[in-house]
C-alpha cells in the first residue's frame, strides 16, 4: 500500500513538472517569437524608416541578435545573485526584468516621434530582455530528466522542446489576427504593441508556476543536480563537452529561424505573396511540428536520440532543395520544413545534460545552451537575408547545409569523446 501511494505521488509530481516545464517554455518562446516576428514585420517600418527596406530589415535583425549575446552575461550575474537570494529569488528578478522590458518595447515611440533615439532605445531594451532570459534559467528540464523513467528518456527529453512550436503558433496566431482585423495603418501605429503587452501577462502566470515547483522535492538529488559550479573549474574540466553540446543543436536552431522569421522578411521584400497567407501556412506547419516533436521522443526511446538526429539532419539536407518554392509555392518549403524541424528539435537538447558529471550538469547545461543559441540562432535571420540579398535564395540553402554539417560532426565527435557521461543513448 505504501509503495503504491509513493508511486502515485511520484506520478503527480512528474505531471506537475511536465505541465510547468511546457508552460514555462511556451511562455519563453511566445515572447521570443513576438519580438522575432515584429523584427521582420514591424520594426523596419517603425524604427528604421530612414533606411531602404533590405538594410532596414538587416538592422532590425541585428537588434534581434543582441538578446542572445546578453544571455551568457546574465548567466554569470545570475550565478552570483542566486548565491545571495536563492534560485527562486533570481528567477523572480529575471522574469520581472524580462517582462518590464517587453512592455517597455510595446510602449516605445517610433522613429517618427523621437528620431534616432527610438532604435537606440529598442536596442537597449532588447539587451535587457536578453539579461532577463539568461537569468531565468531554472533547471526544471534537468529535474524532469532526473525524475523520468529510464525507458522513457526520449519522451521526457522532448517535453521542454514542445515550447518551441507551441510558443510560435501562439505568437503567429496573434499577429495573424492583428494583421487580419486591423488596417495596415492601424497595425503599424498601435496594433502590434498589444502582442508585447500579452507577453507580460503570460510571464506572470509562468512565474508563479515555476516558483511552486522550485520548492518541491521530486525524488532526485536536487542539491547535487542544481548545484552551480565555479566557472574556471567548469571550463577546465568540461570545456570539450560544453563546446560540442553547444554545436550539436546548430542545425535545428538555424532551421527554426529559417522557417519562422526568414520567410516573412523574404515575402515582404522579394515576393507578391500576401503576408497573411505566409503566416497561415506557418501556423499549419507549427501545428504539425508539435506532432513530430512528440514523434521524436517515441522514436528516440525505440532507437536512440542520436539516430533521430541523424535522420533529421539528412532530411534537412533534402529540405534545402525546396527553398526555391518560397518564390512560387511557399507552402511546400514551410510545411515540409516544420515537419523536419519538429523531428530535429525534439531531441536537439536531450543529449546535452548527459555530457556532464552530476556536479557540473546544471552550470554546464546552462552555458552550453546559451552558447548554442548564440552560434545557431542569434544571427540566423540576419545571415539568411544578407546571403539572399547578396547572392540569391540558393545561398540561404547553403547556410542551412553548413548547420547540418556542424551538427553531424558534433554527433560523431560526441560519440567518440571519452568525456561522455553516460554513453550516448
Does any domain span residue 334?
yes
Q: Model confidence over 70-88: pLDDT tens digits?
A: 988 888 888 788 778 887 8
Does any domain span residue 400?
yes
Does any domain span residue 4?
no
Instruction: Identify which of 125, 382, 369 has the alpha carbon closest to the alpha carbon of residue 257.
Output: 382
Distance (Å, whole) CA 156 – CA 129 = 28
pLDDT of residue 365: 79
Instruction: Identify which of 165, 64, 94, 2 has the alpha carbon closest to the alpha carbon of residue 384.
Output: 64
Per-position DSSP letters for 206-275, written without gaps between them: HHHHHHHHHT---SS-HHHHT----HHHHHHHHHHHHHHHHHTTHHHHHHHHHHHHHHHHHHHHH----H
From 214, 229, 258, give the residue that closes a domain.
214
Cβ proximity of 349 and 256 under 8 Å: no
pLDDT of residue 150: 74
280 and 206 assigned to the same domain: no
Distance (Å, whole) CA 132 – CA 203 = 11
76 and 198 assigned to the same domain: yes
Residue 108, classed as helix, strand or coil, is: coil
Please tell me whether the overall predicted TM-score, pTM, comes out greater than 0.75 for this model: yes
255 and 175 assigned to the same domain: no
Cβ proximity of 154 and 425 under 8 Å: yes
From 187, 214, 241, give the residue that closes a domain.
214
Distance (Å, whole) CA 183 – CA 67 = 31
Does any domain span residue 331?
yes
Distance (Å, whole) CA 235 – CA 152 = 31
Residue 351, classed as helix, strand or coil, is: coil
Distance (Å, whole) CA 378 – CA 386 = 14
375: cell is 552560434
Contacts of 341 (CB under 8 A, 6+ apart): 165, 252, 255, 256, 259, 289, 292
Q: What is the CATH number of the domain that holds 398?
A: 1.20.1250
pLDDT of residue 353: 63
Distance (Å, whole) CA 153 – CA 169 = 26
Residue 192, classed as helix, strand or coil, is: coil
Does any domain span residue 152?
yes
List Cα–Cα distances, 77 to 91, 210, 418, 421, in angstroms.
12, 20, 31, 28
Cβ proximity of 338 and 165 under 8 Å: yes
Q: What is the CATH number of the domain that holds 145?
A: 1.20.1250.20
Does any domain span residue 356?
no
Q: Helices 53-107 and 117-135 sit at what angle, rounded to 10 degrees?
A: 70
Distance (Å, whole) CA 296 – CA 247 = 20
Which residue is listed with cell 543559441? 373
From 193, 214, 235, give the residue that closes a domain.
214
195 and 278 assigned to the same domain: no
Give the distance from CA 5 to its chain's centroid: 37
184 and 311 assigned to the same domain: no
Q: Model confidence over 218-247: pLDDT tens digits?
A: 555 555 566 677 778 788 888 888 888 888
Does any domain span residue 171?
yes
Dihedral over Cα of 259, 168, 346, 354: its sign: positive
Cβ proximity of 322 and 332 under 8 Å: yes
Q: Which residues of the chain have pLDDT under 50?
A: 1-12, 418-425
Q: Does residue 76 have a cis peptide bond before it, meaning omega lies within 30 degrees of 0?
A: no
324 and 409 assigned to the same domain: yes
Does any domain span residue 243?
no
Instruction: Identify which of 289, 287, 278 has the alpha carbon closest to the alpha carbon of residue 329.
Output: 278
35 and 121 assigned to the same domain: yes
Burial 143-182 (b: 16+ CB within 10 A, else e): bbbbbbeeeebbbbbbbbbbbbbbbbbbbbebbbebbeeb
308: cell is 533521430
Residue 192 φ then ψ, to 5°: -65, -20
147 and 288 assigned to the same domain: no
156 and 263 assigned to the same domain: no
194 and 274 assigned to the same domain: no
298 and 169 assigned to the same domain: no
Count: domains in the chain: 2
23 and 158 assigned to the same domain: yes
pLDDT of residue 129: 92
Residue-number span of the structural domain to which 387 is assigned: 250-348+379-418
Q: DSSP state, 350?
A: T
Amino acid at each position: 500500500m505504501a509503495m503504491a501511494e509513493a508511486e502515485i505521488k511520484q506520478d503527480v509530481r512528474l505531471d506537475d513538472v511536465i505541465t510547468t516545464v511546457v508552460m514555462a517554455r511556451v511562455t519563453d518562446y511566445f515572447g521570443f517569437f513576438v519580438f522575432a516576428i515584429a523584427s521582420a514585420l514591424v520594426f523596419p517600418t517603425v524604427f528604421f524608416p530612414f533606411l531602404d527596406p533590405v538594410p532596414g530589415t538587416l538592422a532590425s535583425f541585428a537588434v534581434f541578435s543582441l538578446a542572445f549575446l546578453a544571455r551568457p552575461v546574465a548567466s554569470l550575474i545570475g550565478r552570483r545573485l542566486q548565491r545571495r537570494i536563492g534560485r527562486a529569488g533570481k528567477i523572480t528578478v529575471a522574469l520581472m526584468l524580462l517582462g518590464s522590458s517587453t512592455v517597455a518595447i510595446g510602449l516605445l515611440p517610433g522613429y517618427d516621434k523621437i528620431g534616432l533615439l527610438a532604435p537606440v532605445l529598442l536596442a537597449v531594451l532588447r539587451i535587457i530582455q536578453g539579461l532577463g532570459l539568461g537569468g531565468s534559467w531554472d533547471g526544471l528540464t534537468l529535474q524532469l530528466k532526473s525524475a523520468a523513467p529510464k525507458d522513457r528518456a526520449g519522451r521526457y527529453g522532448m517535453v521542454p522542446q514542445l515550447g518551441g512550436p507551441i510558443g510560435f503558433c501562439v505568437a503567429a496566431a496573434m499577429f495573424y489576427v492583428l494583421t487580419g482585423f486591423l488596417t495596415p495603418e492601424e497595425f503599424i501605429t498601435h496594433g502590434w504593441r498589444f502582442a508585447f503587452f500579452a507577453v507580460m501577462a503570460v510571464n506572470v502566470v509562468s512565474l508563479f508556476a515555476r516558483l511552486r515547483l522550485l520548492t518541491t522535492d521530486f525524488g532526485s538529488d536536487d542539491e547535487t543536480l542544481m548545484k552551480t559550479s565555479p566557472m574556471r573549474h567548469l571550463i577546465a574540466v568540461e570545456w570539450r563537452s560544453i563546446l560540442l553540446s553547444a554545436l550539436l543543436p546548430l542545425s535545428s536552431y538555424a532551421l527554426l529561424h529559417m522557417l519562422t522569421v526568414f520567410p516573412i522578411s523574404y515575402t515582404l521584400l522579394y515576393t507578391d505573396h500576401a503576408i497573411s497567407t505566409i503566416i497561415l501556412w506557418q501556423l499549419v506547419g507549427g501545428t504539425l511540428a508539435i506532432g513530430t516533436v512528440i514523434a521524436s521522443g517515441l522514436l528516440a526511446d525505440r532507437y536512440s536520440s542520436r539516430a533521430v538526429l541523424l535522420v533529421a539532419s539528412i532530411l534537412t539536407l533534402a529540405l534545402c532543395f525546396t527553398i526555391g518554392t518560397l518564390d512560387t509555392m511557399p507552402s511546400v518549403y514551410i510545411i515540409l520544413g516544420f515537419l523536419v524541424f519538429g523531428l530535429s528539435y525534439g531531441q536537439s537538447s536531450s543529449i546535452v545534460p548527459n555530457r556532464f558529471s552530476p556536479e557540473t550538469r546544471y552550470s554546464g547545461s546552462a552555458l552550453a545552451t546559451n552558447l548554442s543559441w548564440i552560434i545557431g540562432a542569434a544571427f540566423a535571420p540576419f545571415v539568411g537575408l544578407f546571403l539572399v540579398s547578396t547572392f540569391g535564395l540558393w545561398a540561404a540553402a547553403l547556410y542551412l547545409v553548413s548547420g547540418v554539417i556542424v551538427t553531424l560532426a558534433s554527433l560523431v565527435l560526441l560519440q567518440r569523446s571519452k568525456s561522455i557521461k553516460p554513453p550516448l543513448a
